[in-house]
A and B are shown apart, each in its own frame.
Chain A
Amino acid sequence: MHDRLGRPGIEELRILRSRVAHLERANAEHQRTPETLQASEEYKLLLVAEQVAHVGSYSRDLRTDAIRWSDETYRILGYEPREVSPSFEFIAGHVHPEDRAKFLEANRAVVEEDKPYDIEYRIVRKDGAIRAVRSRASVERDPAGRPVRMLGALQDITEREQTEEQLRALSARHEAILAEVPDIIAEVDANKVYTWINQAGLEFFGPDVLGKEAAFYFEGAQDTYKIVEPLFNGSPRVFYLESWQRRRDGEKRLLAWWCRALVDAEGKVTGALSTARDITERKKAEATLLASETRYRTIFEQAGDYVLMLELGPDGIPVITDANEAALLAHGYSREELLGKPISLLDPELTPETNAERVRIAREAGGLFPVRHRRKDGSFFDAEVRAKALPLGAKTVFLTVERDITERKRAEEALRESECFFRESQRVAFIGSYQTDFTAGRWKSSETLDHIFGIDKRYDRSVQGWLEIVHPDDREMMGQYLKDEVIGKRKLFDKEYRIIRKSDGETRWVHGLGRVDFDAQGNLLSMIGTIQDVTERKRMEEALRKETAIAQTFMDALPCVALLLKPGTREIVALNKAAREAGAQLGATCFGSWPKFDKACWFCRAPQAWETGTPQTLEVEALGTVWEAHWVPVTKELYLHYALDITEHKRAEDALRQAKEYAETLIQTANVMIVGLDTAGNVTVFNDAAETICGYTRAELEGKNWFEVLVPKDKYPYVWKEFTRLLEGGLPKTFENPILTKSGEERHISWQNSELFEKGGIAGTISFGVDVTERKRAEKRLQESEEKYRALFDNSTDGIVVHQLTPDGSPGRFLAANDALCKMLGYSREEMLVLSPRELDSPAWAQTAVLDAAQLKAQGRTRLEIEMKRKDGRMVPVEINACLVVLNGETAILSNVRDITERKRAQMEVQRHQEELRRVSRLSTLGEMASGFAHELNQPLSAILSYVSASQRSIQAQDTDSERLIKNLDQVVSQAKRAGEIIKRVRAFAQRRPVRVSTIDVNEIVREVLAFVRSDVVHKEVEVALELGEGLPLVPADAIQLQQVLVNLVRNAIEAMETTEPQDRRLTIRTSLAAPGTVKVAVSDRGVGLDPAVLPLLFNPFFTTKAQGLGVGLAISRSIVEMHKGQLWAEPGRGRGCTFAFTLPTGQHNHKEHHVDVPPDGTSYHKNGQHDIGEDDHA
């Protein structure tokens, strides 16, 4: 509102300065070109301009010391132009004594030293006024450098200095306002608990206000608390409220609250931001004003006199603007009927002349005049009117107090009729009466008057005597009044004046009414009148006047423009100092009074205030300022209008609101639950996240006890204990507890709690909660799982071990080992974990592991059987299932180690049994083939015999053909060897022997077997066809077992062809490379073929279609082939016969076939050679 100062701002100053500079230049020019230009128009203009700008110019001839001034220079110094002849001494004499030295030094310096001349100093004008001036000058010099002339300009900068001073003050004030908002600014949450408050608020309520409910500070009427409820229900957004609050020092103060609902994005009210101002004093002033006003009103309304308010209409006839009840009643009109009507309605006999006379009387000093008024019903009554013109703003209001003198007349009459009654009534009414006989110069007084005057019968009842009674201060005035008005103008004596009561010297107010009678010649005859002691009334009036003054003072004290206005016309009927300063004038319209408002404000709420009878408040932003405008109905005819500059407040409020909204948004949009509780555990803060998680809305939980609603019953004691512990300042401030959501689900929340301090104690807590249910569940699951797995790990009968995976794939350091493994290996767990896995292994593992590492890497798991070394040195056969696992980001090998000692033993037992069975089977075969073998053996034997016999005979016959003899003997040797081989073969077939794997040529085996079954083949007249593949790879196999398989198949084939015609008995043995790394052997016959029904049974032990034999041949053959990792199957032949075929892996294809060497029945093996188990080990 600095604009209202109407003084130049900085911008104006700047312009002023540039103008001055221009003038100085012009003036200097003018000084150089004297006389000729002085009369020119331009020069005149310059002079005017100087005058306007308060800049004078001067020149001083330094040789002659002659000085010339411009007109304005004279004026600045308080002279009329050319009034004096200036000299340097003259000028110096006008310089303020304190600045004179500075002035002289500057003048000396500019002349003698050519220093710049620009000084500010004070001058004492001709009239004694002190002004600030600024003077700038320069010195002209001749070519020799001697000073010739000094040209200068003189500017009156008093105004500027004052303005600058004011600006400085204003700026300081703004800074002060900015530095500290004096209003209380506070924020409450939806529960009306203080959540933020500014310094002013802290100073008012005390430092512990935050967290307290607003009601805590309410004094008395708590219903105000309910009044603000709509604010929290969403309407209205802004609320004005005045409430009595308890200040920190315990004093009751009235605060004016401007509350603004804080609304979240969904339109939900989350709290309120309020600014409050201590309006106790203002309110007291207002209350006083109101009381005063009420009193006035009461008087006005309740007065027995008929009071009318009038304003002059356009035609000069007063128009009734108000009337009191008595007036309405007396005239029989309603207020509506009367208001706005001319007075002629009541006074039909009124002539313009009479009216003009009455207006004059009213305007001048107020006066009494008799009237004759007509009632609505047409009847007339006599009345006495006292009219007074009251200036109200620009208008004049006429107040008329009309007294029905019909009654008075009647009463007077009655009094006259009864002196006693008159006196009595005078006494009662405290009205004395007198009668003055001017001719005699004496007056008579009634008893009551004597009492009022405090005189006795002896008192000098002369005019002088009366004047002596009159208060000395009023004496002159009263004498004058009596002489001029009453006698001179023959007016009714009607005057209130003070007297000194003679009896006790007390000053009393009396109201005298009297009428002077004149004779026909106009001579003063007598005066009859009454005197009423109106002291009490006067005192009351005085008090009222004082109160009104006080009200005005309060109004003036308002830091803003305040106006008392009439509702319809918006005429200012009272205004405060600020308003006056702002330019508002009494009687003007309000808008005209506001700077820069030249028309009615569009936002004016006066009508609403008027219609509703309730104060209106509106925030308006206009002219760069935010105003908080108030319209407060004061009386029926007046309303108070004031506007507070709340720009700064607003800005602060906005900033606060933004900060608050930001905080609020943060709270509401925070992912974490934010829950505030008071010390009782009632919910004070409850954000969106909390709603989502708890399933309750804020509204549902408002005022509810958190622990009763949300804490599961069984957890209540614990959680409550934690809460109370927290309230006592306990630590830690984080804990977890389950809550019961609305849906009945338990959710686990991890809380970060803080206490809310208030009054040095803890008022509650604010807690930040994270729903850790899933994490908790996961944790629980994890824990359960961990326990489960730990139990599995610890209680597993299998050994479990985890070790690092070294870069070469071999097992590294042990990371974990379970009890079973420790027990298995005879180590304690501590010992285990520091051991190198290699120390536990059989030498095989080192190699195996590297080989298996490839598989581990490729497939993630591998299985191997090795032996591990126990602590006591014994080896334990174990089966290891190893897989790669990632533990804590590190790849490790998890091995399940199973002690297979028993299994091994059992397997060996099985193996032994199987081997035995095979041998029995072989023996059985041998038995069946016995005759064949006999024949086979017979052949060489008979050949031997023949050769030997022949040789003997030759020798006996002296036939000495030695060559032949030797040939025969060679034959004998060869046949003997052959016989031996046959026997050896049979023995081998029958022998109890361990499995012996060697690399074998399958074709060789076929030939051996053919030799073996030769006698059968020959005997059964079977033709044998061999289709032996060439260059077949060798296979790792046990030769005898392989023979056993082939013998079985060949003999089966031969037997199958018994019923076949001899010429068709053809046995084909075919060997081939079936697939890479697989050799196939097929035995085909032309026998009866296979009944498909027996195919499934073919390989069952003890299944046979033959009369002889155990029926285990095929079963054993298959077990042998499978032991060699091969397959044995039967194929029905085309037409007839069938083929039995088996395959054998060569073991040279790739690493996968590596395990070919490991018989599936668990036969142990060595990589680097043969390894015997079986009878030899277990016999």
Chain B
Amino acid sequence: MLELEPTVFIVDDEEAVRGGLAELVRTIKLNVETFATGQEFLEAYDPSRPGCLLLDVRLPGKSGLRLQDEMIARGITLPIIFISGHADLPMAVDSMKKGAFDFMEKPVGDQVLLDRINAALAEDQRRRETNGEVEAFQKELGLLTAREHEVLDLLKAGQSTNAIAEALGITQKTAQVHRTRVLEKLHVDSVPALLTALHRVNMM
């Protein structure tokens, strides 16, 4: 996957805005593709292509936020930099919660924008690498027994061994055993390492 050049996708209903942004991105020698609507973008985008998305919040027909939802539903992990005409805090929070890479207010300073584009591209690359670890990790998760899953969930919640034993109605020892097996099965040596691994595969 890494052999592909990243592309900056721009979706804005206003041609001038699109054009301006495209020109700016091109100054840092990145590929640029522009779309007037979210739908156009969805139809044209191949998830295997790396890059990032500059997305206007306000779009006629389907707004930027709705496009983000659609992309999540489709499992597209392309980092999204939202560009809004005016600061709309709840909208920004919402989008960020859903995993937007950034939320910027027009007019956006050229350097800041370009920095964030680079960051987004790096994030995209990282995400694409992580995607391999997750597949392995999930295979290991499948080896866990039902009791071990229960223990894993309690560990993810930060519960101690004693608390786990108490919650599951088992002895401390038994709980110790389950903890050890989970760590063994998932190839981690400690609980913090477990949590990190889980985080990495977006299971936290």
Does B85 contact A938, Cβ atoms closer than 8 Å? Answer: yes
- Cβ of B139 within 8 Å of any chain A Cβ, yes or no, is no
**Chain B positions 104-137 with a Cβ under 8 Å from a chain A Cβ:** 106-110
- Cβ of B144 within 8 Å of any chain A Cβ, yes or no, is no
Q: How far is the CB of A930 from chain B (nearest CB, A)?
A: 10
Does A942 contact B24, Cβ atoms closer than 8 Å? Answer: no
- Cβ of B13 within 8 Å of any chain A Cβ, yes or no, is yes
In the complex the two chains form, what is the Cα distance from A646 to B35 in whole Å?
144
Contacts of B66 in A (CB 8 A): 1062
Contacts of B58 in A (CB 8 A): 935, 1015, 1018-1019
Partner of A939, one of B14, B24, B62, B108: B14
- Cβ of A1023 within 8 Å of any chain B Cβ, yes or no, is yes
In the complex the two chains form, what is the Cα distance from A942 to B106 in whole Å?
6
Count residues on chain A whose CB falls below 8 Å from chain B CBs. 35
> B interface, by DSSP: helix, strand, loop or mixed?
loop
Contacts of B180 in A (CB 8 A): none
What are 11 sample pairs from A and B whose C-beta atoms fall under 8 A apart?
A: A938-B86, A942-B83, A946-B21, A946-B24, A946-B107, A952-B110, A953-B24, A971-B16, A974-B16, A1015-B58, A1021-B61
Q: How far is the CB of B51 from chain A (nearest CB, A)?
A: 19
Contacts of B63 in A (CB 8 A): 1021, 1062
- Cβ of A834 within 8 Å of any chain B Cβ, yes or no, is no
In the complex the two chains form, what is the Cα distance from A941 to B17 in whole Å?
9
Does B60 contact A938, Cβ atoms closer than 8 Å? Answer: no
In the complex the two chains form, what is the Cα distance from A585 to B124 in whole Å?
184
Does B20 contact A947, Cβ atoms closer than 8 Å? Answer: yes
- Cβ of A931 within 8 Å of any chain B Cβ, yes or no, is yes
Q: How far is the CB of A678 from chain B (nearest CB, A)?
A: 117
Partner of B19, one of A931, A951, A971, A978: A971
A residues in contact (CB < 8 Å) with B: 931, 934-936, 938-947, 949-954, 957, 959, 964, 968, 971, 974-975, 978, 1015, 1017-1019, 1021, 1023, 1062
- Taken residue by residue from 10 to 26, chain B's Cβ proximity to chain A (1 for < 8 Å, 0 otherwise) reads as 00011011011101101
In the complex the two chains form, what is the Cα distance from A971 to B20 in whole Å?
8
In the complex the two chains form, what is the Cα distance from A955 to B86 in whole Å?
30
In the complex the two chains form, what is the Cα distance from A1019 to B16 in whole Å?
19
Does B20 contact A946, Cβ atoms closer than 8 Å? Answer: yes
Does A947 contact B19, Cβ atoms closer than 8 Å? Answer: yes
Known: A938-B86, A975-B16, A1018-B59. A949 touches B106 (CB 8 A): no
Does A935 contact B85, Cβ atoms closer than 8 Å? Answer: yes
Count residues on chain B whose CB falls below 8 Å from chain A CBs. 27
Does A949 contact B14, Cβ atoms closer than 8 Å? Answer: no
Partner of B14, one of A934, A943, A957, A964: A943
Does A943 contact B86, Cβ atoms closer than 8 Å? Answer: no
Known: A947-B19, A971-B19, A974-B16. A941 touches B106 (CB 8 A): yes
Given pairs A935-B85, A940-B16, A952-B110, 19 additional interface contacts (CB within 8 A): A941-B106, A942-B108, A943-B17, A943-B20, A945-B20, A946-B21, A947-B19, A950-B26, A953-B24, A953-B28, A964-B23, A971-B19, A971-B20, A1018-B13, A1019-B58, A1021-B60, A1021-B62, A1021-B63, A1062-B63
Does A950 contact B14, Cβ atoms closer than 8 Å? Answer: no
Contacts of A1015 in B (CB 8 A): 58, 85
Contacts of A1018 in B (CB 8 A): 13, 58-60
Q: How far is the CB of B87 from chain A (nearest CB, A)?
A: 10
- Cβ of B27 within 8 Å of any chain A Cβ, yes or no, is yes
Partner of B16, one of A943, A954, A1062: A943
- Taken residue by residue from 60 to 76, chain B's Cβ proximity to chain A (1 for < 8 Å, 0 otherwise) reads as 11110010000000000
In the complex the two chains form, what is the Cα distance from A942 to B20 in whole Å?
8
Contacts of B61 in A (CB 8 A): 1021, 1023
Q: How far is the CB of B19 from chain A (nearest CB, A)?
A: 6
Contacts of B106 in A (CB 8 A): 938-939, 941-942
Nearest opposing residue in chain B for A950, CB measure = B23
Known: A938-B86, A939-B17, A971-B16. A954 touches B27 (CB 8 A): yes
In the complex the two chains form, what is the Cα distance from A968 to B20 in whole Å?
8
Contacts of A1021 in B (CB 8 A): 60-63
Does A950 contact B16, Cβ atoms closer than 8 Å? Answer: no
> A interface, by DSSP: helix, strand, loop or mixed?
helix
In the complex the two chains form, what is the Cα distance from A974 to B107 in whole Å?
17
In the complex the two chains form, what is the Cα distance from A959 to B28 in whole Å?
11
Contacts of A943 in B (CB 8 A): 14, 16-17, 19-20
Q: How far is the CB of A595 from chain B (nearest CB, A)?
A: 145
Nearest opposing residue in chain A for B66, CB measure = A1062
Does B14 contact A968, Cβ atoms closer than 8 Å? Answer: no
In the complex the two chains form, what is the Cα distance from A1062 to B66 in whole Å?
10
In the complex the two chains form, what is the Cα distance from A940 to B109 in whole Å?
15
Partner of B110, one of A953, A1017, A1062: A953
Contacts of B21 in A (CB 8 A): 946
Partner of B27, one of A936, A957, A974, A1062: A957
Q: How far is the CB of A248 from chain B (nearest CB, A)?
A: 134
Q: How far is the CB of A986 from chain B (nearest CB, A)?
A: 15
In the complex the two chains form, what is the Cα distance from A975 to B17 in whole Å?
9
Does B86 contact A934, Cβ atoms closer than 8 Å? Answer: yes
Q: How far is the CB of A186 from chain B (nearest CB, A)?
A: 126
Contacts of A951 in B (CB 8 A): 23
Does B26 contact A945, Cβ atoms closer than 8 Å? Answer: no
Does B60 contact A1017, Cβ atoms closer than 8 Å? Answer: yes
Does A946 contact B27, Cβ atoms closer than 8 Å? Answer: no
Contacts of B109 in A (CB 8 A): 949
Does A934 contact B85, Cβ atoms closer than 8 Å? Answer: yes
Partner of A949, one of B19, B24, B60, B86: B24
Does A939 contact B16, Cβ atoms closer than 8 Å? Answer: yes
Contacts of B28 in A (CB 8 A): 953
In the complex the two chains form, what is the Cα distance from A1017 to B58 in whole Å?
10
Known: A939-B85, A1021-B61. A950 touches B17 (CB 8 A): no
Contacts of B14 in A (CB 8 A): 939, 943
Q: How far is the CB of B104 from chain A (nearest CB, A)?
A: 10
Q: How far is the CB of A631 from chain B (nearest CB, A)?
A: 142
In the complex the two chains form, what is the Cα distance from A1010 to B169 in whole Å?
67
In the complex the two chains form, what is the Cα distance from A968 to B110 in whole Å?
15
Q: How far is the CB of B133 from chain A (nearest CB, A)?
A: 38
Contacts of A971 in B (CB 8 A): 16, 19-20
Partner of A946, one of B59, B60, B110: B110
Q: How far is the CB of B67 from chain A (nearest CB, A)?
A: 12
In the complex the two chains form, what is the Cα distance from A1062 to B61 in whole Å?
8
Q: How far is the CB of A961 from chain B (nearest CB, A)?
A: 10
Q: How far is the CB of B84 from chain A (nearest CB, A)?
A: 8
In the complex the two chains form, what is the Cα distance from A1117 to B65 in whole Å?
36
In the complex the two chains form, what is the Cα distance from A947 to B27 in whole Å?
11
Contacts of A936 in B (CB 8 A): 85
Contacts of A938 in B (CB 8 A): 85-86, 106-107
Does B26 contact A935, Cβ atoms closer than 8 Å? Answer: no
Contacts of A935 in B (CB 8 A): 58, 85-86
- Taken residue by residue from 21 to 39, chain B's Cβ proximity to chain A (1 for < 8 Å, 0 otherwise) reads as 1011011100000000000
In the complex the two chains form, what is the Cα distance from A14 to B83 in whole Å?
158
In the complex the two chains form, what is the Cα distance from A940 to B17 in whole Å?
7
Nearest opposing residue in chain B for A952, CB measure = B110
Which 6 A-B pairs rank lowest in CB-CB distance, beginning with the nearest? A946-B20, A949-B110, A935-B85, A950-B23, A943-B16, A953-B27
Does B20 contact A931, Cβ atoms closer than 8 Å? Answer: no
In the complex the two chains form, what is the Cα distance from A944 to B24 in whole Å?
11
In the complex the two chains form, what is the Cα distance from A523 to B106 in whole Å?
213
Contacts of B23 in A (CB 8 A): 946-947, 950-951, 964, 968
